[in-house]
Structure 1
Amino acid sequence: MTRSTVSRRSIMIAGAAAGLAGLLAEPAAATPRSRHGTAFTNVTVIDPATNRVTPNTTVTVHGDVITDVGGRVPAGVRIVDLRGKFVIPGLADMHTHAQAEGIDPGLYVANGVTTVRDLAGAQLAHDWRARIAAGTLLGPRYTIGSRIIDGLPSVWDPAWLDVVQVADAPSARAAVREEIARGADFIKVYARVPREAYRALVAEAHRHGVQVAGHGPDAVPLEEAADLGQASVEHLFWTPFETSTQEREIRAEIQRIRLGLGDYPGWFKAIHPLEWSAAHSYSPGKAGRLYAKLARKRMRQVPTLAMHRGLDYARTVNLDDPRNKYLPQSAVAEQEFARQELYLKDRLPSEDPEWAQMFEFRLRTVKHLHEAGVPLMTGTDTGTCAVWPGFSVHDELELFVTAGIPPMAALQASTSEPAAYLGTNTGRIAPNHKADLAILDANPLHDIRNTQRLSGVVVNGQYLNEEARQHLLAEIAETAAKTPATAKPGACPCHTG
């Protein structure tokens, strides 16, 4: 793929331009909060933070706060009888990229996703958060990172993405200060940041009281990043290196990687063989020492298994999915373009079994991380192949359980753990916590796929029953269908985002 080709047709997922807001209808609002409160009665409460399952319970909400769990129904409140149903805290997607006006916020809510962390500092996400706070847009709670801070040269071409490039400690510190001034809630670090620049970046961010999240920089071992205080690491590209008996040789190869500006495909081509070598020289002892460090430092891991599945099974991944009706046509086309030009370019069919084995190794890695006490969080990397806003959080939960994580622990990774990471009073069904709830028709502890059997959602205290939820989905599908096929691509990184 030439740079000119990529410049003309971005590898980023297409989204409707913000200017389409006036053309396309906004999603329907939720049922207004009852002035006197709402009591959800006769429901089984599953609270992953405490591992408690309480049947035949009442959850009372006033405004946007849970005021009581298990008590009597107060006089004068609206009563919603949820007999036979189950309620869990609203879910979290901790790795997203804003894509399309009239699409993303509603899809999250309709899927019971009430907390979202955006990892590219998109202005569209800032706009959504302001409108949600003002009550003019229905959507989840947003935490928004900085623009991507990468090395010099970046693997991203600035013509594709508003990326910040740093070469040394002074430029890294300056970049952190600028991003905080622009309103970033945390700093997003990328793969090619040099070691000294990385160390300065983390120190400067902490000096200003903000977290650092993102990639494991190629030049910095995860153990060192954990010691320095990186709060979360995304994906599973870097984790295998320190679990390998060939770590020294692999790191020497990483140091020899030389890439030009915008040569993301070159980075991917260089890193994958090293991943493969690490996976096949796995040392349980080295893994145990690394995972113990990550657990002690509470360095959250966001595996983005849904993204990795699309990558590792790129030849057979189903892009003709019914959920495509909720994406603009251009977005679906760009996913196919990325699949062919990034994932499958120069990959022979005979290599597919190797890639499949790599995904199985990733699943085992997630299980081992969990067993070692490393905190996990669900994230999907929206904008990548076969990933849909909102829907794919449920895919991620299913993949966690496939990896061997118990359903309750998987739910923790999507509720109480993100809340603890963010320092918010969300992710629990308890008094004085935010009224963000997902109402289910069946028990997710019996089958994690039951998180997909939604019959209602409460976000920020606003209740959508099943009729309202389906109406919201229908409006989003209509918006997607009306979005011009030539809509300007959104600033949304592909799977290395």
Structure 2
Amino acid sequence: MTHLFSRRGLLGTGLGVGLAAGVGTPARAEPAASGTPIAILDTTVIDGTGAPPQRRMTVVVDGGRIAAVGPARETRVPSAAAVIDGRRRFVIPGLVDMHVHSSGDEAIDPPLYVVNGVTTVREMSGHPALHDLRRRVDAGMLPGPRSVIASPVLDGSPSLLAGRGVPYLDVADAGEARAAVKRAAVDGADFVKVYTRLSAESYAAIADETRRVGLDFAGHCPDDVPVTVASDVGQRSFEHLFTVWCSTSADEDSIRRALRAIRIEPGDADGWFRAIHPLELRAARTFDDRRAAHVFHRLARNDSHLTPTLTMHRVVDLPASVDTDDERLRYVPAEVRAAWEAGLAGLAGLAGPAGLGRGGRTAQDAELFGHRQRFVRAAAAAEVPLLAGTDTGSAYCFPGFSLHDELELLVRAGLSPMRVLLAATRDPMQYLGLGSGTVRPGGLADLVVLDADPLRDIRNTRRVHAVITRGTLIDAARRDAMLAEVEQAARSSSAVIHSCPCG
């Protein structure tokens, strides 16, 4: 499996390949005029609170904030406002992708997020270049989402990330773990990212030290730490479903022994995947309702969030389902497309005895992905807080576009469209401390105007008519122009590819 090292010096972590460093001119969102108010007239507002849609409403944006939300006949519209016809359209809060590994290519990733209505992202592997890119986006120098940036990944020793071109620190003991957290705080990380091979001792030290320095921590549930223990000591979110469900298994004790017995060489992510696959299947097949109720209660009580990243899991579990002629590949550089294709073929060797056949789904592969969906449905029913995230940077996970895939997969798993929208708007924004994530007066002016109702069909979140990000309007014509610019940048870009597991 592969990932990218951009020629501009930014590293990513993902299952597959990130996008390359482009040489084209970055796309720019052009507001009608600096500080121009924006009005969406006579529209239906799905405000992100969970309340029913409000029809015949007008939304006014001014100065980067929502100035008014009210009945169309009663709401004053500034005379100089740029106007969007909201009739037969729907307004939702800006979308949030809570698990990305951006390539750092300013000509590709940032514009692709915002034209898809993704106005905020959580970067799950820290690098100084990400902070520089954020400063430029925040200053209005180029279009892009708000971003919250992790530390370099903290993993055990030996690490799955060794030699793979990923910003990480391997920590062999509690002392090194504490030092790594202190370094993350000094370097300006917004939170600490924990990873798969951390020992229980190192993990406990990270949990304690993050409290001391005032940082949250989030990431993988380490092989050596039950999810209930991790929740109790303060891990705020759990990414992916690899070992999260071990604690819901009637066979947990033997699965834990097998997890502890896994030995890998530095950087041997493929070996880890081969070892973990049959254990995942065993955990899924021995799912126990009573154990699950206990686990979910603990997570909900502790406000521990789950980011399932079903988009990434579908590629790993069901590679034959991937469309290698996906039209969105036009926004991916040729070198990266070739590496994704090779990585997809390579998945056949990762699952060991279960097999991930390139030519078609095996029964076990389909069974495993079905269990993932049922697990997410059960967690949601038990009120475990969920966050929508994609693992963008992984193979066939496209910046911006793939969040819509994730929303569809969550609905297919059994969640309502409203619950899924909340997991991609209000809940992540409140988790990040960036505001209410709702369409309310005084809120951030991050909005998406859709041509169809997402509550009727969640796939309608793809039907983006316009985006307002930080009070700047990207209308339909500008969206088309930005997409054309990204396509040109992808055609003229270059990349150096590195191997990397999922992040």
- The bucket for the TM-score relative to the shorter chain is over 0.9
1:174 aligned to 176, 179, 184, which one?
179
Q: Matches of 2:2 and 2:343 in 1, distance apart?
A: 6
The 5 A counterparts of 1:293-372 are 293-345=298-350, 352-372=362-382
1:185 aligned to 187, 190, 199, which one?
190
1:416 aligned to 401, 423, 426, which one?
426
- The C-alpha deviation readout for 1:63-118, integer Å capped at 9, x for no partner, is 11111110332454333332221110010110000125111000001100001000
Rate the CA distance shift 1:141–1:221 in 2: closer, same or farther, 3 A: same
- Residues 237 and 307, structure 2, Cα contact 8 Å, conserved in 1: yes
The answer for the alignment partner of 2:476 in structure 1 is: 466
The answer for the alignment partner of 1:5 in structure 2 is: none
Rate the CA distance shift 1:321–1:79 in 2: closer, same or farther, 3 A: closer
2:112 aligned to 107, 110, 113, which one?
107
The 5 A counterparts of 1:203-214 are 203-214=208-219
The 5 A counterparts of 1:68-79 are 68-70=68-70, 71-79=75-83
The answer for the alignment partner of 1:405 in structure 2 is: 415
- Worse overlay, 79-88 or 231-240: 79-88
Q: Does 1:138 align with 2:143?
A: yes
- Residues 319 and 358, structure 2, Cα contact 8 Å, conserved in 1: no
- The C-alpha deviation readout for 1:424-465, integer Å capped at 9, x for no partner, is 115210011100011000110000011011110001110011
Q: Identical aligned pairs, as a percentage?
A: 41
Quote the RMSD (CA, aligned, Å): 2.0
- Residues 146 and 185, structure 1, Cα contact 8 Å, conserved in 2: yes
Q: Matches of 1:104 and 1:22 in 2, distance apart?
A: 10
Q: TM-score, normalised by structure 1?
A: 0.93
- Residues 99 and 491, structure 1, Cα contact 8 Å, conserved in 2: no
Q: Does 1:218 align with 2:209?
A: no
- Residues 425 and 432, structure 1, Cα contact 8 Å, conserved in 2: no
Q: Matches of 1:456 and 1:447 in 2, distance apart?
A: 19
The answer for the alignment partner of 1:227 in structure 2 is: 232
Rate the CA distance shift 1:250–1:62 in 2: closer, same or farther, 3 A: same
The answer for the alignment partner of 2:294 in structure 1 is: 289
The answer for the alignment partner of 2:126 in structure 1 is: 121
Question: Structure 2: which 5+ runs fail to align?
Answer: 11-19, 351-355
Q: TM-score, normalised by structure 2?
A: 0.92
Rate the CA distance shift 1:15–1:452 in 2: closer, same or farther, 3 A: farther
Post-superposition offset of 1:282: 1.1
SS across alignment from 1:95: strand
Structure 1 counterpart of 2:402, one-letter code: S
Q: Matches of 2:6 and 2:324 in 1, distance apart?
A: 17
- Residues 14 and 331, structure 1, Cα contact 8 Å, conserved in 2: no
1:274 aligned to 273, 279, 285, which one?
279
- Residues 99 and 490, structure 1, Cα contact 8 Å, conserved in 2: no
- Residues 21 and 495, structure 2, Cα contact 8 Å, conserved in 1: no
- The C-alpha deviation readout for 1:408-431, integer Å capped at 9, x for no partner, is 000000000101110111521001
Q: Matches of 1:13 and 1:99 in 2, distance apart?
A: 7
Q: Matches of 1:36 and 1:456 in 2, distance apart?
A: 16
The answer for the alignment partner of 2:163 in structure 1 is: 158
Rate the CA distance shift 1:76–1:340 in 2: closer, same or farther, 3 A: closer
The 5 A counterparts of 1:391-402 are 391-402=401-412
Post-superposition offset of 1:179: 1.3
The 5 A counterparts of 1:469-480 are 469-480=479-490
Post-superposition offset of 1:337: 2.2
- Residues 211 and 230, structure 1, Cα contact 8 Å, conserved in 2: yes
- Count of residue pairs the alignment pairs up: 484
Post-superposition offset of 1:276: 0.7
Rate the CA distance shift 1:408–1:348 in 2: closer, same or farther, 3 A: closer
Rate the CA distance shift 1:471–1:294 in 2: closer, same or farther, 3 A: same
Q: Matches of 1:46 and 1:171 in 2, distance apart?
A: 47
The answer for the alignment partner of 2:392 in structure 1 is: 382
